[in-house]
Amino acid sequence: MTTIDTTKPTPGAETPPVDNYLTHSSGIMSWLGTLDHKRIGVMYLVSILTAFFLGGMFAMLVRLELMFPGEQILSQDQYNMAFTLHGVIMVFLVIIPSVPASLGNFVLPIMLGAKDVAFPRLNLFSYYLWVTGAVLAVSTVFFGGVDTGWTLYVPYSTTGTEMNGILLLTFAVFVLGFSSIFTGINFIVTIHRLRPPGMTWFRMPLFLWAIYATGILQVMATPVIGITVALLAVERLFGIGIFDPALGGDPVLFQHFFWFYSHPAVYIMILPGMGIISELISVHSHKHIFGYKFIAFSSVAIAIFSFIVWGHHMFLSGQSPLMNVVFSAITFSVAIPSAVKVFNWLATLYKGSISFNTPMLYALSFLVLFTISGLTGLHLGTLATDIHLHDTYFVVAHFHYTMMGGALIAMIGGIHHWWPKITGRMYSEFLGRTACGLIFVGFNLTFFTQFMLGSKGMPRRYHDYDGPNWTPEATELFGTYHFWSSIGSFVMAAGFFLIAFYLLHSLFRGKKAPANPWGGRSLEWQCASPPPHDNFSEPPHVGDPYDFTVLEWDEQEQGYHWRHDLKHEPGEA
């Protein structure tokens, strides 16, 4: 039994020259060769945000092109390459690794009270695999580009002229897949073997459950995309028809293989985001999470379901009608665990003492946007309506609401939530809330209009909507929607640049962050901000990660700490 020493200042608060992971060693090599999970997490964060910037720029090109009828700034071929690279970068380089590799790497071991992940060297190796894959993927621009869409569907990918681009990209996807598998294994084993005494599976923060479920998906699904792109490369190199119908191959086989990975990959993207939302909602409502076990198990249920719904991407591919019905029915059932989460989050908010901090605003945005994405998913999962909506902007809007409104908004919320922990600085709350508002408004303006575009019949991937093949009414109607969609994307871009500005500004001018600015109860809030090299100088207090009654606000410190009157027994809930 330990009594908290009330006279002792919180580490890092009043004794300035304290050693932390940022100051532990210096020089570029101490970063590039580091085995410290925190530094690797920061390197991932910087790299992934760079890729996000790049992918965003390609999106702006696409939006500028579509803003008005007629060719604007890109030729047809350039347009195809721009949206392909936007997709490839955002999916493979940004959203799939975003939360686990950056925030997960930083937070996961600290949440477990551990010194590092189970295999620090493997962790660094994963990072360099990611870098290699990223360089390869982006370098396709210099080798003729890729214009197949990120899905690499055959026969586009087997018959085009941009041979080298496709080969490079398949190799990049292969390498990125390995990075993803190794990260997944690392986190699974870390969660299995490095939980501190007293932290049972059901006392883990829900973020860790989400990362665990994601890890299982990464390990089990990624090999399939590996073999798929390997076969694609073989086909391309030797001209042998595996998938290409002109050579006697089966293009639907490619789609089956591709979606067997890429549907679970959707959940590799969204599950960690959901994990973040569980943390944000509970911490910023200062209220115990509602339905802990339901949220935890729904992550696992979603992971399992995700393996048996891939056929819903292929309703119009000539798949048998029976398969379509089965896949449609299973797809609907994914709504159950997803809704379980949403309702539990709502119940957590109910009668909570909600602080509308920037991270919380992102969590609330997530709730709205993710719900819209889930509900529009039903239209696409229904066979009859999907025939109308397939390959229209409705699909584009739906998955942007999921991937961006869900996964990415959660990640940005997570960055704001853990920014004080990562950097030891507070950002400007006012600018933070402003940027969140800009992004929320811009996002909806961009993508809600695309729901309408899609239901009116605007096909996706089209370079233009003017000319003899379009009626003047269609051109005018689509033109209006596309115009406002583009305006929305500029608003959103302004929001992201604002974020970049105030976060960078906070590094130099931000207030020093206390150890626990939000009142979080999980273990990462018990070490200093930024954490010391070994994370914890003394073992942290393990307990119920959502029991906020043990904390109280300290005006002087501008943060939370343990209640003075509390005697604490380690391991006690």
Partner 1 sequence: MADSAGSSPFAKHEAQVSAGTLGLWFFLAALTILFGASVLGYWVIRLGAGRDAALDLPALPRGLWFSTALLLASSGAMHWALTSIRNNRSGQLQLGLLATTGLGLAFLGVQTRCWVQWAAPLAAALSQSQTRFLLTGFYVLTGMHALHVIGGLIPLTIVTLRAACGRYSPSYYPGVRYCAMYWYFLDGVWLVLFATLLLGT
Of the two residues 195 and 417, which places its CB atom closer to partner 1 in the complex? Answer: 195
Write down the least CB distance from residue 500 to partner 1, Å: 33
Write down the least CB distance from residue 497 to partner 1, Å: 38
Answer for the pair 341, 367: CB distance below 8 angstroms, yes or no: no
Write down the least CB distance from residue 214 to partner 1, Å: 13
- Token readout for 324 is 């379509």
Of the two residues 181 and 340, which places its CB atom closer to partner 1 in the complex? Answer: 181
Which DSSP category does 103 fall into? Answer: I
Of the two residues 114 and 445, which places its CB atom closer to partner 1 in the complex? Answer: 114
Of the two residues 192 and 567, which places its CB atom closer to partner 1 in the complex? Answer: 192
Write down the least CB distance from residue 91 to partner 1, Å: 20
Of the two residues 196 and 424, which places its CB atom closer to partner 1 in the complex? Answer: 196
Write down the least CB distance from residue 132 to partner 1, Å: 17
Of the two residues 113 and 510, which places its CB atom closer to partner 1 in the complex? Answer: 113
- Token readout for 520 is 């979080």
Of the two residues 116 and 279, which places its CB atom closer to partner 1 in the complex? Answer: 116
Of the two residues 260 and 427, which places its CB atom closer to partner 1 in the complex? Answer: 260
Of the two residues 104 and 405, which places its CB atom closer to partner 1 in the complex? Answer: 104
Phi-psi region of 273 (alpha: psi -120 to 50; beta: other; left: phi over 0): alpha
| Neighbouring-strand partners of residue 511 | 426
Of the two residues 248 and 472, which places its CB atom closer to partner 1 in the complex? Answer: 248
Write down the least CB distance from residue 136 to partner 1, Å: 19
Cα torsion 25, 29, 31, 37: sign: negative
Residue 56 is which amino acid?
G
Q: What is the C-alpha separation between 31 and 36, in angstroms, rounded?
A: 9
CA 319, distance to chain mean position in Å, is 31
**Whole-angstrom Cα Rg for the chain:** 24
Alpha helices in 112-205 (DSSP H): 120-139, 156-159, 163-193
Answer for the pair 526, 515: CB distance below 8 angstroms, yes or no: yes
Write down the least CB distance from residue 551 to partner 1, Å: 27
Answer for the pair 138, 163: CB distance below 8 angstroms, yes or no: no
Give residues in contact with partner 1 (CB under 8 A): 35, 109, 114-122, 181, 184-186, 188-189, 192-194, 219-224, 226-228, 230-231, 234, 238, 240-242, 247-250, 253, 257, 260
Write down the least CB distance from residue 192 to partner 1, Å: 6
Which DSSP category does 307 fall into? Answer: G
Of the two residues 13 and 217, which places its CB atom closer to partner 1 in the complex? Answer: 217
Write down the least CB distance from residue 232 to partner 1, Å: 12
Of the two residues 221 and 309, which places its CB atom closer to partner 1 in the complex? Answer: 221
Count, in order, helices (H) and strands (E) of the chain.
18, 6
Which among 270, 497, 561, 511 has a CA at the least distance from the CA of 400? 270
Answer for the pair 290, 342: CB distance below 8 angstroms, yes or no: no
* Beta carbons within 8 Å of 447's beta carbon, 6+ residues apart: 396, 397, 400, 401, 404, 405, 485, 488
* Beta carbons within 8 Å of 547's beta carbon, 6+ residues apart: 288, 521, 573
Write down the least CB distance from residue 515 to partner 1, Å: 22
Residue 330 is which amino acid?
I
- Residue where the block lists tokens 């073999």: 227
* Beta carbons within 8 Å of 439's beta carbon, 6+ residues apart: 365, 409, 412, 492, 495, 496
How close are the terminal C-alpha atoms of the chain, in Å? 14
Cα torsion 507, 496, 183, 199: sign: positive
Q: What is the C-alpha separation between 281 and 260, in angstroms, rounded?
A: 32
Write down the least CB distance from residue 234 to partner 1, Å: 6
* Cis ω for the linkage preceding 97 (within 30 of 0): no
Strand 567-568 vs strand 2-3: parallel, antiparallel, or unpaired?
Answer: antiparallel
Of the two residues 120 and 198, which places its CB atom closer to partner 1 in the complex? Answer: 120
- Residue where the block lists tokens 């797809």: 331
Q: What is the C-alpha separation between 442 and 438, in angstroms, rounded?
A: 6
Write down the least CB distance from residue 226 to partner 1, Å: 6
Of the two residues 22 and 185, which places its CB atom closer to partner 1 in the complex? Answer: 185
